[in-house]
Structure 1
Amino acid sequence: MTEFDLLVLGGGTGNVVASAAAEEGLDVALVERDRLGGTCLNRGCNPSKKLIHRADVAETVRRAGALGVDASVEDVAFADVVDEVNREITNAAESKAETARESDRITLFRAEGRFVGKRTVEVDAENGPEEITAERVVFAGGSRPMIPDSIAGTDEVDFLTSADALRLRERPDRLVIAGGGYVAAEMGHFFGAMGADVAIVGRSEVLLDREDRDVAEFATDAYAERHEVHTGYEVTELAEGEGDDAEEGAVEGGKLVRAESKDGEELELRGDEVLLATGRRPNADSWNADAAGIDTDEKGFVETDEYLETSADGVWAIGDVAGNYMFKHSGDREAEFAVRNAVRGERASVDYPGMAHAVFGSPQVGSLGETEGDLDRDDYDVGTFAYDDTALGSALVQDGFAKALAAPDGEVLGFHVVGPHASMLVHEVATAVAAGADADRIAETIHVHPALSEVVQGAFREARGHPPTGI
């Protein structure tokens, strides 16, 4: 058995911890079965947003006529686009691996790993299984696409996960997406803008049902204008399509998706490809966390305290496997505190000031704090402001709005925006909240006119009863 100062399990956000620990003189073992960079770099944020940017460009061109610009999309080099993005991603991941290999303080195990005891992990090394151990372990084991047992036929019919969809080189003529969350929204936008016919089947009444209800309804309506959208249906089965009895405009043969509503109404859809975008699950089980005495909750997430410590002595958990948030930016925040606590021996309580997230679909969504449906109180103010009510927003082809939620004392309870550049607009509020500003300060801040950020100011001015000065 080989002993190290620190074991880091998972090469995504965990790579940040491993690098910092090595710089501080610790001998580190880094275990990652796939390429370094984790889900975000290889199978998530980075490739999806690079692809979606191409989709945004294509969509902008198609909408140019509404602004008096004669333009059209004649063709999309789909395979070339996918190859270019994945080549960039591969190079970035290999660069990280090369950096790790060059470090005399990091031993990279590019292999499967599993706990076999307290702070002890077995890895599939070149010469057979090898056990490694350390007094300190940072568990950054990540997550994977969830394939519900309730869907029959997943062991008989080929389907795509989000990871597969990002590497698909042949664009399907018709894509059926099972799921109504952010992956469905983003991938539906990408494939639709690239020229595919897209159908989305979600079990909730709206797409993006975890967002504020007003935002979710707006996004659902926008998607229904461009795609075939079925909400309130649970996918029950995948099957190989047969014959020519497909509904009008659908693919003959292909793959068949069956779904059912709560009222028992049945739905059948066909497509060249089926994407299961039904959520993600933590990888604690695949790392055999139980063997290390690491407690998990009913959904399989590792339970941590405010210091990111687990139930096992000397083991900290960060990122998707811990489930505090399932964002790369929250994982990076936790990595900072893992370095402070696991590497430097501090007792620093992790916090997430101004934590926000975004959905890079069409329209975009940006969100921070609680939704109106989440609020367990009656004493709050609501302010909404439409893009069309600003000088620049009224010039855009796409519409949208911002919504601010504030307590009577001005505390920002939540902020939600749907429309162009929502992923950037939300950061004004995130920065303000992190800096301790309240809703009145955001409303009173002088905004550049006619910048799109006036949508944010307008929502807060309405929430707090300020006159619309400067808008």
Structure 2
Amino acid sequence: MKRYDAIIIGSGQAGNPLAKQLAKAGKKTAIIEKSFVGGTCINSGCTPTKTMIGAARMAYMAKRAQEFGVPSDPAQIDFKKVLDRKNEVVSSFRESALKALTETPGLDLLTGAASFTGHKTLQVQYTDGSTETLAAELICINTGARPVIPPVKGLTDVPYLTSTTLLDVGEKPAHLLILGSGYIAMEFGQMFRRFGSEVTILERAPRILTKEDEDVAEAVAEILKEDGITIITSAQVKEAARQQEKISLTFEVDGTKQTVSGSHLLIGAGRAPDTGTLQLAQTGVATDEKGYIIVNDQLETNVEGIYALGDVKGGPAFTHISYNDHLIVAQHILEKKHSSIKNRPVPYCMFTDPELGRIGLTEKEAGEKGFNIKVAKLPLTKVARGIESGETRGLMKAVVNADTGQILGASILSVSGGEIMSVLQIAMMGHMTYDEIRNNIFAHPTFTESLNNLFMTLDND
């Protein structure tokens, strides 16, 4: 048995920086990765998708160029070149992450699959088939999540794609069918539509983006429909089948049976914790009914000295949350600080175009919590920079505590929506009131400047 001071399982956006910090602090550390270094973000999430979304926006703007008086005749998209560029960016990021790990003194990178065999003991099955037993008093789990495949009749018999495998599809889909309407479905749907694919989204709920306010979700839906995407809600998918070169889905809407066929099928029905092979029961780590590892506010499990970080622990499944998790654990272990995940801000973006930046409470959540609220809304058609740049799709929305003037949350559906949202996040962290934002000086003409006008809409309330 090989002993370490610390073992990290998974080299995602929490595991990598935490492993380096522990090693630099003098702890003999091992990080175990069964696939590529960098986790979901670098290999099958943020990096590849945003690289391809960038290409899709270029195609979109090329088609719009004549609106601006710029002669254009966009040639057929070279989809192979899009994929090649994506692969180059991913390889660059991955190699950088790999180099950072392998050049850290006191840190061993082990390539293989880990599973618990007892209390704080692990077996690693290496890629060459050999195995080794490891032990450490400090173990951190950062194994992430995997796509959920819904129990639809016939689905296992058709060549469906996930958010990972779609990134390496060898050809541009002629007609992409998407099950689900979360952030992954929205981003992929718009991206492939801009590449020239026909796109149909099927959602079993009455509307898309059920975690967002209804008016925000409706605004996103209108943008996607304007882009030529078909969205079918309240669609209960009953069966999937392969018909020659096509995939057909049979579904019901309000009891009426319908069928749609496409060349490719993307499953975007959510994600589940990647804990199946860890054998957590062997070391006594508790999970909830969905398999997520249960942690306290310092991210420690019920077993002292074992922590869980990132998507595997449940809660907001975002790269920046995973990265912040490592800071909390590092401070707790190395500096004996009582840093906590409790009440930390949870900003996030959906990278459609325009993108949706979100922070704090939605209007619905604020109402359910009993706040006396005021709601500020401003369509992008009233934003000077939006008009000037031809980007008038979307809206800005903020929820305010009517009693204190504090900003409770915001939804910014706009070009640079995430950047604008971040301004409000900082304001919320600094306990600025909405009228301080309304009266503040922002550079003109910027999208952020329209926060003045957004909060001016409350003057007549």
- Under a length normalisation based on structure 2, what TM-score does the superposition of the two structures give? 0.94
> 3-state SS of the aligned residue for 2:237?
strand
- Once residues 118 and 348 of structure 1 are traced to their aligned partners in structure 2, the CA distance between those partners, rounded to angstroms, is 26
- Once residues 236 and 119 of structure 2 are traced to their aligned partners in structure 1, the CA distance between those partners, rounded to angstroms, is 41
- Once residues 22 and 173 of structure 1 are traced to their aligned partners in structure 2, the CA distance between those partners, rounded to angstroms, is 49
- Once residues 352 and 146 of structure 1 are traced to their aligned partners in structure 2, the CA distance between those partners, rounded to angstroms, is 29
Gap regions ≥5 residues in structure 1: 243-252
Superposed CA offset, 1:418-468 (max 9, x none): 1322122111111212233232222222122221113333222323x289x
| Aligned residue in 1 for 2:220 | 219
- 8 A contact 1:333–1:352 mirrored in 2: no
Q: Does 1:362 align with 2:353?
A: yes
Q: Does 1:312 align with 2:267?
A: no
1:399 CA displacement: 1.9
Superposed CA offset, 1:164-208 (max 9, x none): 111223101111111111111100111111111111111222222
| Aligned residue in 2 for 1:67 | 68
1:290 CA displacement: 2.4
1:347 CA displacement: 2.9
Q: Does 1:331 align with 2:326?
A: no
| Aligned residue in 2 for 1:296 | 287
| Aligned residue in 2 for 1:415 | 410
Structure 2 CA distance for partners of 1:27 and 1:4, relative to 1, 3 Å: same
1:85 CA displacement: 1.0
Q: 1:321 corresponds to which letter in structure 2?
A: V
> 3-state SS of the aligned residue for 1:109?
strand
- Alignment match of 1:399 (pick from 389, 393, 396): 393
- 8 A contact 2:381–2:392 mirrored in 1: no
> 3-state SS of the aligned residue for 2:157?
coil
Q: Does 1:380 align with 2:373?
A: yes
Which aligned pairs between 1:126-145 and structure 2 lie closer than 5 A?
126=128, 128-145=130-147
Structure 2 CA distance for partners of 1:189 and 1:16, relative to 1, 3 Å: same
| Aligned residue in 2 for 1:246 | none
- Once residues 202 and 63 of structure 1 are traced to their aligned partners in structure 2, the CA distance between those partners, rounded to angstroms, is 30
- 8 A contact 2:374–2:400 mirrored in 1: yes
Which aligned pairs between 1:21-420 and structure 2 lie closer than 5 A?
21-125=22-126, 126=128, 128-149=130-151, 151-225=152-226, 226-242=228-244, 253-261=245-253, 263-351=254-342, 353-375=344-366, 376=368, 377=370, 379-395=372-388, 396-407=390-401, 408-420=403-415
> 3-state SS of the aligned residue for 2:177?
strand
Superposed CA offset, 1:303-326 (max 9, x none): 111111111111111100112311
- 8 A contact 1:141–1:287 mirrored in 2: no
Q: 1:373 corresponds to which letter in structure 2?
A: K
- Once residues 101 and 131 of structure 1 are traced to their aligned partners in structure 2, the CA distance between those partners, rounded to angstroms, is 21
- Once residues 461 and 432 of structure 1 are traced to their aligned partners in structure 2, the CA distance between those partners, rounded to angstroms, is 17
Structure 2 CA distance for partners of 1:354 and 1:104, relative to 1, 3 Å: closer
Structure 2 CA distance for partners of 1:351 and 1:114, relative to 1, 3 Å: same
- Once residues 194 and 398 of structure 1 are traced to their aligned partners in structure 2, the CA distance between those partners, rounded to angstroms, is 22
- Once residues 229 and 330 of structure 2 are traced to their aligned partners in structure 1, the CA distance between those partners, rounded to angstroms, is 45
Superposed CA offset, 1:328-351 (max 9, x none): 011111111111123444432235
- Once residues 459 and 316 of structure 1 are traced to their aligned partners in structure 2, the CA distance between those partners, rounded to angstroms, is 42
- 8 A contact 1:83–1:169 mirrored in 2: no
- 8 A contact 1:67–1:397 mirrored in 2: no
- Once residues 225 and 418 of structure 2 are traced to their aligned partners in structure 1, the CA distance between those partners, rounded to angstroms, is 21
- Once residues 437 and 286 of structure 1 are traced to their aligned partners in structure 2, the CA distance between those partners, rounded to angstroms, is 47
- Once residues 438 and 414 of structure 2 are traced to their aligned partners in structure 1, the CA distance between those partners, rounded to angstroms, is 20
- 8 A contact 1:330–1:352 mirrored in 2: no
| Aligned residue in 2 for 1:443 | 438
- 8 A contact 1:177–1:275 mirrored in 2: yes
> 3-state SS of the aligned residue for 1:56?
helix
1:259 CA displacement: 2.0
1:106 CA displacement: 1.2
- Once residues 27 and 132 of structure 1 are traced to their aligned partners in structure 2, the CA distance between those partners, rounded to angstroms, is 12
1:144 CA displacement: 0.7
| Aligned residue in 2 for 1:248 | none
Q: 1:383 corresponds to which letter in structure 2?
A: A
- Once residues 433 and 291 of structure 2 are traced to their aligned partners in structure 1, the CA distance between those partners, rounded to angstroms, is 36
Structure 2 CA distance for partners of 1:274 and 1:18, relative to 1, 3 Å: same
Superposed CA RMSD in Å reads 1.8
- Once residues 376 and 122 of structure 2 are traced to their aligned partners in structure 1, the CA distance between those partners, rounded to angstroms, is 52
Gap regions ≥5 residues in structure 2: none
1:230 CA displacement: 0.8
Q: How many residues align?
A: 454
Q: 1:440 corresponds to which letter in structure 2?
A: D
- Under a length normalisation based on structure 1, what TM-score does the superposition of the two structures give? 0.92
1:353 CA displacement: 4.2
1:116 CA displacement: 1.9
> 3-state SS of the aligned residue for 1:392?
helix
- 8 A contact 1:387–1:455 mirrored in 2: no
Superposed CA offset, 1:56-111 (max 9, x none): 11111212233333323212111111122112212321332233233341111111
> 3-state SS of the aligned residue for 1:131?
strand
